[in-house]
Amino acid sequence: MKNKTSFLPGEGEAQPSRCPDNSAFKQQRLPAWKPQLTIASVLSTFFLTGAFCLAVGVCLVLSANSVREIQVDYSDKCSYCSKLRENSSNWNKECHCSVNFTLKEDILGDVFMYYGLQNFYQNHRRYMTSRSDAQLLGRNVNIQRSYCAPFSAYRNGTPMAPCGAIANSVFNDTIDLFYSRNSSMIQVPLLKTGNSWWTDKNVKFRNPESYNLSFAFAGTARPPYWQKPVYLLDEEDERNNGFVNDDFIIWMRVSAFATFRNLYRRVRRVRHFAEGLPAGNYTFQISYNFPVTRFKGRKHVILSTVVWSGGSNPFLGIAYLVSGTAATLTGFVITGIHLKLRKKKTYFQKQ
């Protein structure tokens, strides 16, 4: 294959040519779509986009406003338990408190219970990486070298299961709901399984393969702030134990903001609660185990319904409204500029 050569004036030696080959690709002669932007196409794009965003935004805002929600803060009402829990030596002492509230109207449909935390920063880099995905998949329970340090093993060498700062700080308050009816207290039935994502339950979290879960975790110890080992998280349901426990899985899905809520329970629609929660007096019975005073946090319980767009969060609807308004205003500005320039052009043509 011969190289193309070119001669420069005053030189007798041939120099390699830097000209690209005469092909459609290298000479940029491939078929291409070259849109011709006209004033009609530009304005129609802005106005149609604005109308679409405004319509979607209105629907989302109306949908979010239709959510029934009640929020109860129990940080101050359980102050005695909070002070007790600030002393780590009282970790094995139980402390209970109750919070009364009233529903003025029925909450119909599926009712979800959330726990909320304020001023708890789960988005810290060291905190987010303090976990072992290999351990949570059940591959190596006795893991010691990982990003979990210093919550990877005790001083005597016993590894923690699960390891890491996220698992160690798991939310462990127990919240029960009671309904006052005819001078008697009826416990509201709550579902504690089926609250996590399918991918979490079946892909990201798995227990080690063993005929006995306690045998699978032999040689490990619970994290320092836990009151029971991982294989006894749910003593009533063996399928909700270990790394596949719903409460544990939901906590391990860290939040991007300092104020967040996590799904805790769902109201089981049976008997008096077949249609939802009837109006009346209710009581939260709380076993207080999660202190928040040291980091100036707050804790609350939320009872809420959901709609097709999710829970009570108007942010997405407001974002659509702002985007639609901006697109529509931009269309009007472009229209005004176009009319002004066309009027000026017509004036000069007459001159």
How many C-beta atoms surround the C-beta of residue 244 within 10 A?
A: 22
Decide if 130 contacts 280 (C-beta within 8 A). Answer: no
Domain parsing of the chain, residue ranges: 68-311
Cα–Cα distances (Å) from 156 to 63, 167, 235, 328, in that order, read 55, 20, 28, 67
The string of pLDDT tens digits covering residues 61-102 is 999 988 999 999 999 888 888 888 887 777 778 899 999 999
Write phi, then psi, for 196 (nearest 5 degrees).
-95, 170
- Position 188 scores a pLDDT of 96
Q: Report whether pLDDT(207) > 60.
A: yes
Provide the mean pLDDT of the chain: 88
Question: For residue 302, what are the β-bridge partners?
Answer: 71, 114
d(CA 287, CA 173): 6
Is 109 buried (19+), middle (13-18) or exposed (0-12) by CB count in 10 A? middle
Question: For residue 310, what are the β-bridge partners?
Answer: 307
Q: Report whether pLDDT(200) > 80.
A: yes
- Position 235 scores a pLDDT of 86
In sequence order, what DSSP letters do the residues of 71-120 get, joined into one string?
A: EEE-TTTTHHHHHHHHSGGGTTS--EEEEEEEESS-EES--EEEEEEES-
Question: Position of tokens 């005819």?
Answer: 182
pLDDT tier at 19 (50, 70, 90 boundaries)? confident
- Position 1 scores a pLDDT of 46
Decide if 164 contacts 131 (C-beta within 8 A). Answer: yes
Q: Report whether pLDDT(7) > 80.
A: no
The string of pLDDT tens digits covering residues 232-252 is 999 888 889 999 999 999 999
- Position 178 scores a pLDDT of 96
Q: What's the angle, vertex CA 188, arms to CA 186 and CA 193, rounded to 5? A: 150
pLDDT tier at 10 (50, 70, 90 boundaries)? low
- Position 142 scores a pLDDT of 76
* Least confident range of 3-17, 38-52, 98-112, 279-293: 3-17
pTM, rounded to two decimals: 0.81
pLDDT over 90 percentage in the chain: 57
Q: Report whether pLDDT(2) > 50.
A: no
Identify which has the larger pLDDT, 123 or 8. 123
pLDDT tier at 350 (50, 70, 90 boundaries)? low
- Position 347 scores a pLDDT of 58
The string of pLDDT tens digits covering residues 208-232 is 888 888 898 988 999 998 989 999 9
Strands (E), the chain: 5-6, 15-16, 69-73, 96-103, 107-108, 112-118, 174-181, 184-187, 190-191, 260-267, 276-277, 280-287, 298-304
Q: Report whether pLDDT(121) > 60.
A: yes
How many C-beta atoms surround the C-beta of residue 96 within 10 A?
A: 12
